[in-house]
Structure 1
Amino acid sequence: MTQMSAQTKIRVQEADFDISAEVAALRADNPKVGAVACFVGTVRDLNEGSAIETMELEHYPGMTEKSLEAIAEQARERWRGSDVLIVHRVGKLKPLDQIVLVATTAMHRAEAFESCAFVMDYLKTQAPFWKKEKTEAGERWVDAREADDAALSRWSKT
């Protein structure tokens, strides 16, 4: 586990995670937490009209963690006092498997929601992960989506 500070926790791992335990650990011993926002991404069974048998996530160890740390720190700079947790899985996953957990804390709900959305938008576009799907027609790499770039662009305006 990479830990930048008491308020930023980053992990890239093959093993699944327990959302409840992760959130409890994030907010433990912090009486200033008034809100926790969470996002859990899962493997869908269908993408671009094809049934997904498995999805494999690849990354560059070291580089990936540094990228995630930078994203979390940007969120903490924008929303002072917020805590950030990112747990991202790699390896071979099946439909319904959890891929990613982003949890953020803040004193109030608006800041928690905003910081969580910010982290996810940056993760989808800036983090060095590569997805390969196995379908009935064979394997294919998943390209970035324009919708993800559009979601990211909203943060440059604020």
Structure 2
Amino acid sequence: MSDLVCVQSDDFSLADEYQRLSNINSRVGAVVTFCGLVRDFESSAGESESTKVVNYLTLQHYPGMTENLLEDIVTQAKARWDLVAVTVIHRIGTLAPNDQIVFVGVASEHRKEAFDAAQFLMDYLKTKATFWKKLTAEGKEQWLDAKLSDTDAVVKWNKDSHDQC
């Protein structure tokens, strides 16, 4: 199987993941990757230009269910686009600013499919996968909710799929 879905506490190597995708087979003509990092600041919702210095971000998940949901998201992407391979790696545990959180990589014959699928995967991952984020900033803990912009992004994909019918 050329797809990889993994939830782990260990860091991952961007170079290794890129190499794995680009060398899967001779059909690969494009590889698009995304790596999400822990920011060193968090903007407060509803407060104009108010930011907090992040100490760390703790990510928790529902073992088994989270992996199944990620695999379902990959299956949906592969049903929409002709993809050669997909990699989704999401870290859990306590992460410091600038630590890698998530890797999404898509290999396809053509760039448009790879770009669209990578964006779709991240948009769905942000809203549909069972991860809980607890932010520790300036010594205070706060559970983070999904952002409206992430929810809106998924609605766009749903609208796009209805427009194609």
Shorter-chain TM range is over 0.9
Matched residue count: 153
Partner of 1:133 in structure 2?
135
Provide the aligned C-alpha RMSD in A.
1.0
Deviation at 1:7, TM superposition (A): 2.8
Structure 1 residue ranges without an equivalent (≥5): 1-5
Higher gyration radius (CA) = 2
With normalisation by structure 2, the TM-score equals: 0.90
1:50 is matched with which residue? 52
Amino acid corresponding to residue 153 of structure 1 in structure 2:
V
Q: Which runs of 5+ in 2 are unaligned?
A: 44-50, 161-165
Compute the displacement of 1:137 (Å): 4.5
Cα offset for 1:153? 1.2
> Residue deviations 1:34-89, cap 9 Å, x none?
00011100000001211100000000110100000000010011112331100100
| Equivalent AA in structure 1 for residue 113 of structure 2 | E
- State the 4+ residue runs in structure 1 displaced beyond 4 angstroms: none
Q: CA deviation at 1:136?
A: 1.3
Aligned to 2:121: 119
For 1:154, the equivalent position in structure 2 comes to 156
Query: TM-score, normalization: structure 1?
Result: 0.93
Letter in 1 for 2:105: A
Which deviates the most, 26-35 or 15-24?
26-35
Aligned equivalent of 2:7? 12
- Contact between 1:82 and 1:112, CA under 8 Å: does it hold in 2? no
CA distance in 1, matches of 2:107, 2:95: 28
User: What is the alpha-carbon distance in structure 2 between the residues aligned to residue 42 and residue 17 of structure 1?
Assistant: 12
The question of whether the paired residues in 1 share the 8 Å contact of 2:9 and 2:93 is answered with yes
Q: How does 1:41-80 map to 2 (within 5 A)?
A: 41-48=36-43, 49-80=51-82
